[in-house]
Amino acid sequence: MRFPMHLSMSTITDDQHHHLHHHHPRYDPHDSMAYEYAPESHPPGGGGRGVGGRPMGYALSDISSSDYTSSWRRNSRQGILLLVTFIIELLLLVFVVIVEYFLRWTDVFPLRRQNFTCTDTSISCTSRDKQLMADFAFNADVPDEAIYALSFCVPPLVVLIGEIGLCTFAEGEQKDIRLMNKHCAVPQIVRRLLRFLGVFVFGGFALMVFVDVTKIMTGRLRPDFLEACQVNETMCPLFPTLGDSACLNSDKMDIRHARTSFPSLNAALSSYAALFISVYIHGAMRSHSVRVLRPFLALVFILLALLGGLAEYSRCVSHLSDIAVGFAAGIAMSIYLTVYVLNQFQEHLSQSEMVHMMRAFIADTYLPYEDKSHLTRPSDHLSSMHIPRAHMTPVPPSRMSDAGEGKHQRRRPHNTFQRDLSQSVDYHRRHQSYLHAGSSHM
């Protein structure tokens, strides 16, 4: 059997697989490392012999057992590396969760205790001022625990629904990852869910640690600090500034909470979750049939986050500057994780997908109409055509102008990408008939 030039493994038909398996027992059609091709210097139809005494064209050379062993060892090392990395990242997540627990729900870490006065209007907000929000649902009083639960539960639910939909209606095959051996395979949907949800949970707790560390370092008093402290008014005219000793409230956690206003954790978490969902909706769901649904869902989550942050100001829980900084911290964390860590929830393109995109680009740009149909068939040989890299060729010094003008008048660098790509396409079109003639001898 003879193989034409530039023949890839994806162009071998079922009959050819059967022929290869009959004459080469070690041939595995699912193993891309099973055979390699050796070019020859004579054109098809000549009388020469190829590598190993085979006919002219591209000859198949058997892979020895050492190649199979090296391939298996390489895949095994990659699987072990993935498993070790997963364990390390899981331990880091547990560590961040433990640190956040001690920061927020215990008094292990010290707190900056700022003195106050009884006449400070910025901390004199009372329950009468909170009645301004009486016309809103629940008086706009949403517990902090509800904000935490919604921020950590709604994005994973949206990601889970989206990944199930993508797995159900996706056209391409799911790419599995083998951890230790070929029998231990992780489906693509599980891998994506672990990666997306793991990064989201880690980012959420890391954001909480950042906010709580800032809170205990600044110790800014909340707008309703005097009411939460239950200050002893008899001590106000005696001392210009007061401390915790003037508070009648004996609950240390309430006083600690009233001293940690900057920045707003609710604003940071809600903005982080809303932007994370928005980027996921636009990055993972790229179907043309959801042009209105995507911005609608993204704007709904962003609006809910904005309302949740402003409600804190209306209920005299945080200052406007606290809410603004909280929004900024949540947005910064979300952009960093979604854009730079998760690559906007997009999979890296494989070599075949990149070749397919290049085929469509060349067909639409350079080839005539009658030649475009060859690029849509899987049996074309464009995958082996050389695609030049974009580069700039500097102008030699000899081509510059005179020495007096060279310092001020230099020619612009010439971009050779267009020329090289046109030459590659012309070369492919000239040899296309030669390639089809060689494939007829199979």
The CATH number assigned to the domain holding 217 equals 1.20.144
Query: Per-residue DSSP letters for 31-75?
Result: -TTSEEEE--SSPTT-S---GGGPPSSSEEEEPPHHHHHHHHHHH
Do 143 and 45 fall into the same domain?
Answer: no
pLDDT at 398 over 50: yes
Q: Are residues 324 and 430 in the same domain?
A: no
Domain of 29?
A: 9-63
pTM score over 0.75: no
Whole-angstrom distance, CA of residue 4 vs CA of residue 383: 13
Residue 348 has pLDDT above 80, yes or no: no
Dihedral angle at the C-alpha atoms of 263, 264, 265, 270, nearest 10 degrees? Answer: -130
Residues 341, 369, single domain; the answer is no
Query: Residue 69: what pLDDT?
Result: 61
In a domain, 3, yes or no: no
Instruction: Work out the percent of the chain whose per-residue pLDDT is above 90.
Output: 37
225 and 134 share one domain: yes
Q: What is the pLDDT of residues 133-161, one digit of tens each?
A: 666 656 667 888 889 999 999 999 999 99
Distance CA 283, CA 344 (A): 5
Q: Within this chain, do residues 57 and 146 fall inside the same structural domain, yes or no?
A: no
CA 411 to chain centre: 41
Q: How confident is the model at residue 63 (pLDDT cuts 50, 70, 90)?
A: very low
Domain assignment of residue 2, yes or no: no
Give the chain's domain count.
Answer: 3
Residues of the chain above pLDDT 70, percent: 57
pLDDT by residue (tens digit) across 120-129? 999 998 877 7
- Are residue 243 and residue 273 in the same domain, yes or no? yes
Polymer length of the chain: 442
Average pLDDT, the chain: 74
pLDDT at 416: 66
What would the pLDDT profile of 5-20 be if each residue is shown by its tens digit? 444 444 444 444 444 4
Q: What are phi and psi of 186, to 5 degrees?
A: -105, 120
Verify that 130 and 237 share a domain, yes or no: yes
Domain boundary among 345, 374, 408: 345
> Which value, in Å, is the radius of gyration of the alpha carbons in the chain?
33
